Amino acid sequence: MHIQYETQRLSMRFFLLMLILFVFQVGFGIILAIQQTDPHFLSGTLNFNVVRAEHLNLGILWILAGFI
């Protein structure tokens, strides 16, 4: 990939951040799906409501990082 403008170099950080946040959101979504079928999965460490909140917050954050 050829970076021609300085703004492309600056926006690359936001795209990498967006990718990392998206991967974490997918991971929390997988944990949510497992907890939906097995309520005792990670019940002492990550409760369902905590994982759901992180999943939704990460969804908002990676979309906002993409718009920046």
Q: Where do the structural domains in the chain lie, given as residue ranges?
A: 12-67
pTM of the model: 0.78
Mean pLDDT score, 46-67: 88
Predicted local distance difference test score (pLDDT) of residue 63: 85
pLDDT tens-digit profile of 3-45? 788 888 888 888 888 889 899 999 999 999 999 999 888 888 8
Q: What is the rounded distance in angstroms from the CA atom of residue 41 to the CA atom of residue 47?
A: 9
Predicted local distance difference test score (pLDDT) of residue 53: 93
